[in-house]
Amino acid sequence: MLPIDPQRMLADLRALAEFGKMGSGVNRRSLTPEDLASRDWLLKRMRAAGLDARIDGIGSVAGRTPGSRKHILIGSHTDSVPKGGWLDGSMGVIFGLEIARAYVEAGLTDDPGVEVISFIDEEGRFAGLLGSAVFAGKMDEGDIRELRDERGESLESALQSAGYAGRELLRFEPDRHAAYLEAHIEQGPVLETAGKRIGLVTDIVGVSRCEVVFTGQADHAGTTPMELRRDAAAALYAFADDFARFCRNEGSDRTVWNLGLVRLEPGAYNVVTQQASLGVEYRDPSADVLDRIRRYIVDHAGRLAEEHRVSAEVVPGAGILPNPMDESVLGHLEQAAADLHASSIRMPSGAGHDATMLAHLVPTAMMFVPSIGGRSHDISEDTREEDIVLGLKVLARAVERIIAPS
Amino acid sequence: MLPIDPQRMLADLRALAEFGKMGSGVNRRSLTPEDLASRDWLLKRMRAAGLDARIDGIGSVAGRTPGSRKHILIGSHTDSVPKGGWLDGSMGVIFGLEIARAYVEAGLTDDPGVEVISFIDEEGRFAGLLGSAVFAGKMDEGDIRELRDERGESLESALQSAGYAGRELLRFEPDRHAAYLEAHIEQGPVLETAGKRIGLVTDIVGVSRCEVVFTGQADHAGTTPMELRRDAAAALYAFADDFARFCRNEGSDRTVWNLGLVRLEPGAYNVVTQQASLGVEYRDPSADVLDRIRRYIVDHAGRLAEEHRVSAEVVPGAGILPNPMDESVLGHLEQAAADLHASSIRMPSGAGHDATMLAHLVPTAMMFVPSIGGRSHDISEDTREEDIVLGLKVLARAVERIIAPS
- Strands in B146-289 per DSSP E: 177-185, 198-204, 206-215, 256-265, 275-284
**Residue B95 burial (CB count, 10 A):** 32
In B, residues 138-197, which contact A (CB 8 Å cutoff)?
A: 186-190, 193
Of B209, B226, B376, the CB nearest to A269: B209
pLDDT digits (tens, 9 = 90+) for B304-355: 999 999 999 999 987 888 999 999 999 999 999 999 999 999 999 988 899 9
Cis status, amide bond into A82, omega within 30 of 0 = no
**pLDDT grade for B403, boundaries at 50, 70 and 90:** very high
Candidates B220, B228, B252, partner chain A, best to mutate (most A CBs within 10 A): B220
Phi first, then psi: what are they for A161, rounded to 5°?
Answer: -60, -35
Question: Mind giving me the DSSP string for B321-384?
Answer: --EEPPHHHHHHHHHHHHHTT--EEEEEESS--THHHHTTTS-EEEEEEPPGGG--SSTT----
**B285 lies within 8 A of chain A by CB:** no
pLDDT value at residue A194: 96
pLDDT digits (tens, 9 = 90+) for A247-284: 999 999 999 999 999 999 989 898 899 999 999 999 99
pTM here is 0.82
Of B241, B317, B377, the CB nearest to A237: B241
pLDDT digits (tens, 9 = 90+) for B44-60: 999 999 999 999 999 99
pLDDT value at residue B205: 93
Q: What is the C-alpha to C-alpha distance for residues A131 and A91, in angstroms, rounded to an integer?
A: 17
pLDDT value at residue B342: 98
Cβ-Cβ contacts under 8 Å for B14 (sequence gap 6 or more): none
- Please, where are the H alpha helices in B111-259? 130-135, 141-145, 155-162, 190-194, 232-250
In A, residues 190-249, which contact B (CB 8 Å cutoff)?
A: 190, 193, 205, 207, 209, 219-226, 228, 231, 233-234, 237-238, 240-241, 244, 248
Q: Would you call B205 and A222 a contact, using CB atoms and an 8 Å cutoff?
A: yes
Q: Would you call B237 and A233 a contact, using CB atoms and an 8 Å cutoff?
A: no
**A264 lies within 8 A of chain B by CB:** yes
Q: Would you call A226 and B256 a contact, using CB atoms and an 8 Å cutoff?
A: yes
- Number of Cα atoms under 13 Å in the Cβ half of residue B256: 27
Distances (CA, A) of A391 to A25, A38, A198, A383, B156: 20, 23, 7, 11, 68
Closest residue on chain B to A277 (Cα): B262
Residue B209, Ramachandran bin (φ over 0: left; ψ between -120 and 50: alpha; else beta): beta
Candidates B258, B278, B378, partner chain A, best to mutate (most A CBs within 10 A): B258
pLDDT digits (tens, 9 = 90+) for B117-176: 999 999 999 988 999 999 999 988 788 878 999 889 999 999 999 999 999 999 999 999
**B273 lies within 8 A of chain A by CB:** yes
Q: What is the C-alpha to C-alpha distance for residues A333 and A182, in angstroms, rounded to an integer?
A: 11
**A270 lies within 8 A of chain B by CB:** yes
Q: How far is A188 from chain B (nearest CA, A)?
A: 5
Question: Mind giving me the DSSP string for A125-150?
Answer: SSSBTHHHHHHTTSS-HHHHHT-B-T
- Please, where are the H alpha helices in A251-384? 287-307, 327-339, 355-358
pLDDT digits (tens, 9 = 90+) for B253-289: 999 999 999 999 989 898 899 999 999 999 999 999 9
In A, residues 311-350, which contact B (CB 8 Å cutoff)?
A: 317, 349-350
Q: How far is A269 from chain B (nearest CA, A)?
A: 5
Q: What is the C-alpha to C-alpha distance for residues A318 and A283, in angstroms, rounded to an integer?
A: 12
Q: What is the C-alpha to C-alpha distance for residues A170 and A227, in angstroms, rounded to an integer?
A: 62
Stretches where chain A sits below pLDDT 70 are: 406
Q: How far is A281 from chain B (nearest CA, A)?
A: 6
**Residue A174 burial (CB count, 10 A):** 9
Cis status, amide bond into B112, omega within 30 of 0 = yes
pLDDT value at residue A270: 87
Q: What is the C-alpha to C-alpha distance for residues A278 and B234, in angstroms, rounded to an integer?
A: 13
Looking at beta carbons, which residues of chain B come within 8 Å of A209?
A: 269
Looking at beta carbons, which residues of chain B come within 8 Å of A258?
A: 221, 231, 269-273
Q: Would you call A188 and B224 a contact, using CB atoms and an 8 Å cutoff?
A: yes
pLDDT value at residue A406: 61
Looking at beta carbons, which residues of chain A come within 8 Å of B267?
A: 260-262
Of B37, B54, B56, nearest in space to B46 by CA: B54
Q: Would you call B269 and A317 a contact, using CB atoms and an 8 Å cutoff?
A: yes
Closest residue on chain A to B211 (Cα): A269
Q: Work out the mean pLDDT of chain B and round it to a whole number.
A: 95
Q: What is the C-alpha to C-alpha distance for residues B30 and B81, in angstroms, rounded to an integer?
A: 9
pLDDT value at residue B406: 61
Of A333, A348, A329, nearest in space to A202 by CA: A348
Phi first, then psi: what are they for A109, rounded to 5°?
Answer: -140, 10
pLDDT digits (tens, 9 = 90+) for A313-328: 999 987 888 999 999 9
| Domains of chain B as residue ranges with CATH | 6-204+322-403 (3.40.630.10), 206-320 (3.30.70.360)
Cβ-Cβ contacts under 8 Å for A403 (sequence gap 6 or more): A1, A72, A108, A110, A112
Q: What is the C-alpha to C-alpha distance for residues B114 and A42, in angstroms, rounded to an integer?
A: 87
Cis status, amide bond into B266, omega within 30 of 0 = yes
Phi first, then psi: what are they for B40, rounded to 5°?
Answer: -60, -45
Q: What is the C-alpha to C-alpha distance for residues A102 and B254, in angstroms, rounded to an integer?
A: 78
Looking at beta carbons, which residues of chain A come within 8 Å of B281?
A: 221, 269-270
- C-alpha B184: how far from chain center: 9
Question: Mind giving me the DSSP string for A378-398?
Answer: STT----HHHHHHHHHHHHHH
Closest residue on chain A to B193 (Cα): A228
**Residue B172 burial (CB count, 10 A):** 18
Of A227, A181, A173, nearest in space to A200 by CA: A181
Cβ-Cβ contacts under 8 Å for A174 (sequence gap 6 or more): A361, A362
Of B222, B258, B272, the CB nearest to A272: B258
Cβ-Cβ contacts under 8 Å for B235 (sequence gap 6 or more): B214, B216, B276, B304, B305, B307, B308, B310, B312
Q: Would you call B271 and A256 a contact, using CB atoms and an 8 Å cutoff?
A: no
